[in-house]
Amino acid sequence: MGSVTRGTTAPNRLRRVDRWLVGVHRTVLVSAPPRPLVVDVGYGAYPVTTVELADRLRTIRPDVRVTGLEIDPARVAAAVPYARDGLEFRLGGFELPVDRPPQLIRAFNVLRQYQEPQVRDTWRALMSRLAPGGLLIEGTCSESGRIATWVALDRSGPRTLTLAARLGSLDSPATFAERLPKALIHRNVPGERVHAFLTALERAWLAAAPLGAFGVRQRWIGAVGALRADWPIVGRSDRWRLGEVTVQWDAVAPDEHPPHI
């Protein structure tokens, strides 16, 4: 199930989301039964990000099993030499041809070419395959991985939206608009919640400009901290220091009627 993507990938492209998974949602794996399964959907032309995911998750759960899925047989064949104990590559897509429900599913840079209604259908299909207490991460990022956004979903639906950036190269939070997940990218128009959130973040960033004298990290922390008065920001300030901000999904969820695009 699915379509072949461009396959663009690079080492460390998904480091930000992996770091967030290990730091924020480690209990998804730590509290799981033995040999928890993680599925990486659509790893691309080169399996480096799946290999990195396995390495990073093993720091908190040494017995984790990671399966990389690709719908292109040639990509699967190219990835097989990278397989090892606890890491395998299979032909497959959103139907998830695995033998048990995964604790974690990562689907990054695979839904941008789809239509918005298809994204919701894909979410539902993947959510239904999760193990109890499992998590689905669906998002997108720039080619370098310096700008990334993702939605976290459990079996009941989407829970949060996270924006993450390499602060040293962040000129403006408006940059996130280009990399929103497919479910939101066409909703960044006046009247939609995600547009209001990005606008508020940009205003807070501009207001925090004096803090830039102490470094871009302090400016970002000040901007995100200012949002807490009006927006349901999730998580502690130690995540802000890493260039992240997470907000409850309900605060940015699309309105019922799609915009004219």
Among residues 99, 134, 165, which one ends one of the domains? 165
Q: What is the pLDDT of residue 116?
A: 86
Q: Which residue has the tokens 């699967």?
A: 76
In a domain, 171, yes or no: no
**155-196 confidence digits (pLDDT tens):** 999 999 999 999 999 999 999 999 999 999 999 999 999 999
Question: What mean pLDDT comes out for the span 31-55?
Answer: 96
Q: What is the pLDDT of residue 225?
A: 97
pLDDT at 47 over 60: yes
In a domain, 32, yes or no: yes
pLDDT at 118 over 60: yes
Residue count (the chain): 261
- Shared domain for 69 and 192, answered yes or no, is no
In a domain, 170, yes or no: no
Question: What mean pLDDT comes out for the span 193-204?
Answer: 98
113: left (phi over 0), alpha (psi -120 to 50) or beta: alpha
- Shared domain for 159 and 221, answered yes or no, is no
Residue-number span of the structural domain to which 76 is assigned: 15-165
What is the tally of structural domains in the chain?
Answer: 2
Question: What mean pLDDT comes out for the span 207-216?
Answer: 96
pLDDT at 111 over 80: yes
Contacts 24+ apart (CB under 8 A), 191-195: 191/255, 191/259, 192/254, 192/255, 192/259, 193/251, 193/252, 193/253, 193/254, 193/255, 194/161, 194/252, 194/254
In a domain, 203, yes or no: yes
Q: What is the pLDDT of residue 115?
A: 84
Arithmetic mean of pLDDT over the chain? 93
Q: What is the pLDDT of residue 156?
A: 96
Residue type at 136 in one-letter notation: L
- Shared domain for 107 and 207, answered yes or no, is no
In a domain, 258, yes or no: no
Question: What mean pLDDT comes out for the span 126-153?
Answer: 96
- Shared domain for 34 and 140, answered yes or no, is yes
Among residues 165, 196, 222, which one ends one of the domains? 165
pLDDT at 204 over 60: yes
In a domain, 28, yes or no: yes
- Shared domain for 159 and 233, answered yes or no, is no
Q: What is the pLDDT of residue 159?
A: 98
pTM over 0.85: yes
With cut-offs at 50, 70 and 90, classify the pLDDT of residue 4.
low
With cut-offs at 50, 70 and 90, classify the pLDDT of residue 261.
very low
In a domain, 250, yes or no: no
- Shared domain for 132 and 30, answered yes or no, is yes
pLDDT at 259 over 50: no
Alpha carbons within 13 angstroms on the beta-carbon side of residue 145 total: 14
- Shared domain for 56 and 132, answered yes or no, is yes
Question: What mean pLDDT comes out for the span 128-135?
Answer: 97
Question: What mean pLDDT comes out for the span 79-97?
Answer: 95
In a domain, 2, yes or no: no
- Shared domain for 26 and 89, answered yes or no, is yes
- Shared domain for 145 and 20, answered yes or no, is yes
Q: What is the pLDDT of residue 45?
A: 87
pLDDT at 257 over 90: no
Question: What mean pLDDT comes out for the span 33-50?
Answer: 95
pLDDT at 57 over 50: yes
**CA trace torsion 82, 88, 89, 92 (10° rounding):** -170
- Shared domain for 52 and 144, answered yes or no, is yes
Q: What is the pLDDT of residue 5?
A: 65
- Shared domain for 51 and 154, answered yes or no, is yes
- Shared domain for 160 and 225, answered yes or no, is no
Among residues 165, 199, 220, which one ends one of the domains? 165
CATH number reported for the structural domain that contains residue 145 in this entry: 3.40.50.150
pLDDT at 230 over 90: yes
Residue 18 and residue 151: Cα distance in Å, rounded?
Answer: 13
- In the chain, what percentage of residues exceed pLDDT 90? 89
Q: What is the pLDDT of residue 112?
A: 84
**3-state SS class at 164:** strand
Q: What is the pLDDT of residue 84?
A: 97
